[in-house]
Structure 1
Amino acid sequence: MIVILKIILCSSLLITFYYLFLQKEKMYQFNRFYLIFSLIFSYTVPFISIETELPKQANRAQTVLEATQQILDLTPKQENVNWMNLVWIIYAIVTLFFLIKIIISIVKIKNLKGEKIIYQNHNVVLTKENLSPFSFWKTIYLGRNYLINNKIDSRIFLHEKSHLEQRHSIDLLFIEILKIFTWFNPAIYFYKKAIVTNHEFLADEFVLKNDFNVKDYQNLILDEIISSQNYNLTHTFNFNNTKKRFIMMSTKKSKLTNVKKVISIPILIAAFGLFVQKTYANNIEHAIKATQNKFSEPERKSTAESIGENIRQIKTIPTEEAITEKLPLKTNAEEKVLDTIRPKSNQNVNTTPETSQNRNTNISENDNTILPQFPGGMNELRTKISKTFDGGKINASKNKEMYRANISYTVTENGTVADIKVSGDNELFNNETLLSFKRANENITWKPAEKNGKPIPYTLRIPLTMSFQ
């Protein structure tokens, strides 16, 4: 969702810059390049990730992600509308509509019947109906009435010829394909309008470079406006944005043209800095990785030896009473499920933190429940959290050297993470913990928990500790 928002914001920023500073300048080739490049730029930058160092802080913060704790989800299942599925259905319907629309447009053009001729080394289709001249791909289409004495008006032919030689149809197909799959981006419609208008400026410029009278050419265009024939994906000679075309025909090149070209470069650089993904590498990440490695050793050393003198962590997993205190029993059925995970009176409770690997592959013998699994394992989840955790936002108190938070979350039957809650004694620490956890689960689908072979919702908890030196 964040990536989509970045694409919309980035493309909107760049097209706004075009309309404000570049559109009225007589530099059509540069504008064509800018429009296409800024579109590609907007749709790729949010997916680029760069690693940067956090600024050094007065207090060195170190965080430890402890062993994941499991909490059986005893929430009664309810028949709720899955809004995400509904959104995907709406997206698919609208996307299919635009796809069908573009296919119909192409089929209509290809089905136009007429005499195919080669005119000045270009493919021309002469239709029986009085069709206003337009071009698509490598062919010019026009009514037979435009061929007089086996000649086509030079101005009309040059106009359409310029569209073919400059391959403007590729630009239109590109923008249409983007519109099919990202129709929800309002900027895409402004890009299409700007690209088509700039194509007409280029074609008009090509004609007038051949020493044709500007007023006569403008009168020719006005005569053609009467025609109502219009096809999508094409460049029609009687393009309806006549006023802008006439203005640009008589506009002289501005002295600021080169300056505006140069200004567009820092604008792109600024957009890159704003919308690129940033990952942070610092001591926090290294401390967490070191802790994970120690947890995965067969014969784990003591906590002080494994993670250093400046890192503290709680080594025991809460007993059954501590785990379930936030999930009050409401039904006999729930009490039965709890009995399956409560240790018997003659058994010892294991107070040693288990590794994420052992936790995720654990299968309860009593209820045949397989726990949820993060792609790559829980160590991968911890690593992703550490990369995005910004310790610089935490102001360490002089009277407190350690902060602790518990991340509680539910992995649904669909493998999505829901009901994320963070509890702790420091609001800044809690907020950054929540943000880091959400970033780590962005565009991620868990393997849901299973009971008797069927996916079920399951609640887990990860304690997070930060100590200051």
Structure 2
Amino acid sequence: MIDFLIKSTLSLVVLLAVYHLALEKEKMHHFNRLYLLFSILFSFSIPFITIEVIQEVSSPEASQNIITMEGSSTAVLEDSTNYWLIAVWSLYTLLTLVLLLRFILNIIKLTARTKSNPTIDYKNSKLVLVQEETLPYTFLNSIFINETDYHHRKIEAELYTHELIHVSQRHTLDILFIETLKVIFWFNPIFIFYKKAIQLNHEFLADEKVVKSHNNVPFYQNLLLSKANANPTYYLASNLNYSVTKKRLIMMTKTTSPSRTVLKKLVLIPLFTGLTFLVCTKIVAQETKTTKKQEPSKTSNIFDDYYNNTTFKIKDEKGKVTTQKKYKELTPIEKKAIPSFIPKKEPLPTPEELLAILKKGASESIEIDIYDPKNQKVKKSEGETHNVSELTENPSYPEGMEKFYSFVAQNYKIPTQANLKGKIYVTFIVEVDGSLSDIKLLRDIGYGTGEEAVRVLKLSPKWNPGKVNGEAVRTMYSLPITIQSKI
């Protein structure tokens, strides 16, 4: 929303500034009317346009989701409730409703005036005869005039012509459009200036028609000046004495060459194009391969290279070789059973000696016996609980721990307590079938945070159980949960 307001307002300010500097003083009022309306529509659409510019950058690949704790994970929960935002939206809604009510009441009042007063059909419009002293003004296809002045023929023909232009060119629709925007975006003053520019352009259009029809500029100018101090009418109506200033009087006698208008119109093409690229361009970084990018897999590459020419002979329970594999084909348990390539001596080899060993490579054939007692984990009696350090395979959430964190965050309800921050510690047992049992709260920070953690864990789907030598066992698991309230 903020991005929309910034981009649209920037576009509105630039286009209105161009209008005042280059277009307002030129006698091309129909084009200017379209320009002002199009500028608003263009500015509202420009935030939704994105032009991506790809820029290559060199960056090493970063390892993600690194967990250094064995047998435990941390889920961080943050309260997303923002009461300042709620207060701002509530204030906006209240003021918008007040302005909308005022807007609707003015429309109803003008419509009621049309129905409650005598009307006369007049050249595709309707003359509404009102009792109060007022200058002619227009709303939609109705021209409101004083009844006494009408019957005594005190209203000049130029005034009828002026108001008929407002009717025939539907100037009221422009005003209703900009007023609707002012109701929605009441906090943005730029629409006040757009309304002034649009209304003044309406008067330029009406004045131009009067001058062409009656061909008496001095008389019409004096007529406008004589009516300039009359009482203002409804802000939704087009009225004769709007902004009777030097601008209107000068515009009546001004001429603009066709070549000048064409040139100024052509200049607007690069203006809109440049504004689009300025506001809508988004630089997208595209990483290129670098030497550092391979660093996260450096350890695995060392073993791949070291055992590149080695054939591993896998023994069964009876100590017989049953299959042969390359290093990449070994299971995690089989890799753990590979004899260490570091010599058992004191002191340990220096980095230079270790590098020489790695460069030399492993022998062509190595036997692996995962059933050798020294490679076996001791399985406890049936039903007893194992710690993570006693397992050959740790328990895990089926879709990965990131999905488990998301599950906890989505289901955990943070108490409405200000400045609530701290850690909750819980333990549970991952059963042989993957279900969670014996959920215990070791420590909480009060306000029901621990009880809520226990409730959420009871909703958890089944896990993949921990294993010892490929057999599922009951496993004790711990989980810290960090609470961070934004209230």
Contact 2:77 2:409 in 1 (8 A): no
Question: Secondary structure, in 3 states, of the residue corresponding to 1:209?
Answer: helix
Q: Which residue of 2 aligns with 1:359?
A: 402
Work out the CA distance in 1 between the residues paired with 2:187 and 2:13: 13
Cα displacement string for residues 412-462 of structure 1 (whole angstroms, at most 9, x for unaligned residues) = 899xxxx9xxxxxxxxxxxxxxxxxxxxxxxxxxxxxx8558xx9957xxx
- Structure 1 segment 16-415 matched on structure 2, within 5 A: 16-52=17-53, 54-56=54-56, 59=58, 62=61, 65-66=64-65, 71-73=74-76, 82-112=83-113, 113-148=116-151, 153-253=156-256, 256-276=260-280, 278=282, 280=284, 282=286, 346-347=387-388, 359-360=402-403, 370-372=408-410
Work out the CA distance in 1 between the residues paired with 2:231 and 2:300: 80
Work out the CA distance in 2 between the residues paired with 1:74 and 1:237: 63
Q: From the superposition, tell whether residues 201 and 283 of structure 1 become closer, same or farther in structure 2 (CA, over 3 Å).
A: same
Work out the CA distance in 2 between the residues paired with 1:28 and 1:182: 27
Work out the CA distance in 2 between the residues paired with 1:280 and 1:353: 36
Cα displacement string for residues 275-331 of structure 1 (whole angstroms, at most 9, x for unaligned residues) = 12636374579xxxxxxxxxxxxxxxx998xxxxxxxxxxxxxxxxxxxxxxxxxxx
Letter in 2 for 1:359: E
Q: Which residue of 2 aligns with 1:407?
A: none
Work out the CA distance in 2 between the residues paired with 1:242 and 1:226: 12
Of residues 221-230 and 11-20 in structure 1, the stretch that sits farther from structure 2 once superposed is 221-230
Work out the CA distance in 1 between the residues paired with 2:300 and 2:190: 54
Letter in 1 for 2:16: I
Work out the CA distance in 2 between the residues paired with 1:271 and 1:353: 53
Work out the CA distance in 2 between the residues paired with 1:457 and 1:248: 70
Q: Which residue of 1 aligns with 2:4?
A: 3
Work out the CA distance in 2 between the residues paired with 1:60 and 1:72: 29
Structure 1 residue 124: deviation in Å?
Answer: 1.4
Larger Rg: 2
Q: From the superposition, tell whether residues 277 and 136 of structure 1 become closer, same or farther in structure 2 (CA, over 3 Å).
A: farther
Q: Which residue of 1 aligns with 2:341?
A: none
Work out the CA distance in 2 between the residues paired with 1:68 and 1:3: 39
Cα displacement string for residues 318-356 of structure 1 (whole angstroms, at most 9, x for unaligned residues) = xxxxxxxxxxxxxxxxxxxxxxxxxx9713598899797
Cα displacement string for residues 61-80 of structure 1 (whole angstroms, at most 9, x for unaligned residues) = 656654799744589x9xx9
Contact 1:359 1:371 in 2 (8 A): no
Structure 1 residue 56: deviation in Å?
Answer: 4.0
Q: From the superposition, tell whether residues 283 and 9 of structure 1 become closer, same or farther in structure 2 (CA, over 3 Å).
A: same
Q: From the superposition, tell whether residues 198 and 360 of structure 1 become closer, same or farther in structure 2 (CA, over 3 Å).
A: same
Work out the CA distance in 2 between the residues paired with 1:357 and 1:33: 58
Contact 1:126 1:144 in 2 (8 A): yes
Work out the CA distance in 2 between the residues paired with 1:275 and 1:355: 45
* Contiguous gaps of at least 5 residues in structure 2: 290-298, 302-384, 422-451, 457-480
Structure 1 residue 219: deviation in Å?
Answer: 1.7
CA RMSD of aligned residues (A): 3.9
Question: Secondary structure, in 3 states, of the residue corresponding to 1:157?
Answer: helix
Taking structure 1 as the reference length, what is the TM-score of the superposition? 0.60
Q: Which residue of 2 aligns with 1:378?
A: none
Q: From the superposition, tell whether residues 74 and 354 of structure 1 become closer, same or farther in structure 2 (CA, over 3 Å).
A: closer
Work out the CA distance in 2 between the residues paired with 1:260 and 1:2: 31
Taking structure 2 as the reference length, what is the TM-score of the superposition? 0.58
Structure 1 residue 90: deviation in Å?
Answer: 2.1
Count of residue pairs the alignment pairs up: 323
Of residues 258-267 and 19-28 in structure 1, the stretch that sits farther from structure 2 once superposed is 258-267
Contact 1:372 1:458 in 2 (8 A): no
Work out the CA distance in 2 between the residues paired with 1:197 and 1:359: 61
Contact 1:128 1:144 in 2 (8 A): yes
Contact 1:51 1:281 in 2 (8 A): no
Work out the CA distance in 2 between the residues paired with 1:68 and 1:220: 84
Work out the CA distance in 2 between the residues paired with 1:68 and 1:124: 81
Q: From the superposition, tell whether residues 118 and 357 of structure 1 become closer, same or farther in structure 2 (CA, over 3 Å).
A: farther
Contact 2:128 2:143 in 1 (8 A): yes
